[in-house]
Structure 1
């Protein structure tokens, strides 16, 4: 069991959730405000996507990241900033003519996916460690070994910590290969993402098997979607990991009760402390992850 637990709050994501809950932040100002509230509630890390303020759809626009991050950094809270670098891998194919690329495709190389990371220099950014049939329909998330190696090299050059996002066991296999090749700085940081169709299901036995596959010295977090998000806080802590909550992955505090990011962090904190563990401060998170003191401020 982990008794020194980092809470990450994933503030908004890129999914079609803005019409499902009025609490999902859209503008950079709303995203920053949600991050600040989450930090005050106990999150040591905030995970930042941005959205097009006009459409609410996920975006790779560098200026939107700049605005959200500068507002968080200019606030009176201390928090570790983790930006996504997963945007730019969406490939929509015509199921009848698979060589035909459909509208909605946003597919760029591994280095181009990091354009905002080079500008805002977050403490941490993500690396989605494999391709995936993403939900129903004809969307494939594309993240090939060559794309990933290019991305990992660029993140190392920028001096940013990598959080390797793992959606299935094969992704974990490849992520450990990146570690073996020296493309991931110590300590290797893994995010085990469960219950995303069609990756690894939210099965405690599968999580335990994935934890057993991690390399020595790895730091890891796990989360599950929807109604499994809060139970997964306990599951992750029991197996020695850290936790992630937030509106990217779940919109509800209880059945029929829509949540804010801060409320989900507060509930995660209650679970962790009821288990006899402590919630890590941002400075303690930096120690665990070997980030520079006060990085990103």
Structure 2
């Protein structure tokens, strides 16, 4: 029996680390553009903004704490309220050399860093939330592997807990939820747990409804979950997430289109998500309400 969500919050993933900048001029690249896109999303109805940074000159993915600092400072100075969710997924990128000679890894596409270095920007800026990608998996059709070993995840979870930041578990397949439960059982993820079900990413969990519900049913009952899919299924997944009892994620990290042939901004996608949710009888939660629900600590005025 489905239990649709009546109070839902929207997370906007504003830029990501993919090659979307080559396909849409609306994907923000510079720290100022990323911050302004977060503000646009918040004003459109997103309570949470999920932030990656990019090299300003090239649009390539980056994890320089100085870039995060510039984004976060601009947001905080704007006076627009939103819950900050910084990625901690960067630094686990492994691209093997070739199918016949996998070692040494290819320099292009490989960025492997230790647990402490991966959390440097989180330690400095102390957002309410940071992500923890709970698993290793193939990505795309080449030799790229998203790499997050149990030992690394355990150390990252330990450090996130010590900082008083809420981890948002990123689960791309069912086994990733098991890893998250393993961390919880060691006391490294405290209540209330927060998990993002990342559907439709090759070669993780497909985004059909039966697989989504298998993922939902594996989430601890006391945890709060959101769900999304990528590409053309992002907006239908607004309704899917609500019907499954969860919360919403949209944004240019996962999808650049508003309608067929119409490029979206982050604000456009959030507004469309608000329309869908409200038409289904749901109420959109504010940033203060999300902080209260998830027991988040806001460290800025």
Question: TM bucket by the smaller chain?
Answer: over 0.9
Aligned to 2:104: 100
* Structure 1 residue ranges, 4+ long, deviating more than 6 angstroms after superposition: none
1:224 counterpart = 2:235: no
Distance 1:182 1:216 in 2: 17
Using the alignment, how far apart are the partners of 1:197 and 1:249 within structure 2?
13
Tell me how far 1:295 sits from its aligned partner: 4.3
- Partner residue in 2 for 1:16: 19
Residue 136 (structure 2) aligned to one of 128, 131, 136: 131
What's the TM-score, normalizing by structure 1? Answer: 0.98
User: Any idea what the Cα deviations from partners look like across 1:84-116, whole Å, max 9, x if unmatched?
Assistant: 000001111121112221122101122211111
Gaps of 5+ in 1: none
What secondary structure does 1:163 align onto?
Answer: strand
Aligned to 1:54: 57
Separation in structure 2 between the aligned mates of residue 205 and residue 138 of structure 1, nearest angstrom: 29
Q: Are 1:65 and 2:55 counterparts?
A: no
Q: Distance in 2 between matches of 1:100 and 1:222?
A: 36
Q: What is the TM-score with the length of structure 2 in the denominator?
A: 0.97
- 1:149 is aligned to 2:154: yes
| Aligned equivalent of 1:75 | 78
CA distance in 2, matches of 1:259, 1:191: 22
Matched, 1:190 2:195: yes
- Count how many residue pairs are aligned between Structure 1 and Structure 2: 296
| Aligned counterparts, 1:168-247, within 5 A | 168-247=173-252
Aligned residues of 2:126 and 2:299 also touching (Cα < 8 A)? no
Per-residue deviation, residues 241-297 of structure 1 (Å, max 9, x unmatched)? 0000000000000110000000000000000000001000111111111113x4444
Give, in whole Å, the separation in 2 of the partners of 1:283 and 1:295. 13
Give 5+ residue unaligned stretches, structure 2: none
Counterparts in 2 of 1:206 and 1:296: CA distance versus 1, 3 Å: farther
Q: Distance in 1 between matches of 2:244 and 2:20?
A: 30
Give the secondary structure class of the aligned counterpart of 1:269: helix
Q: For the residues of structure 1 that align with 2:300 and 2:18, how far apart are their CA atoms? A: 27
Name the residue aligned to 2:46. 43
Aligned-residue RMSD, C-alpha: 0.9
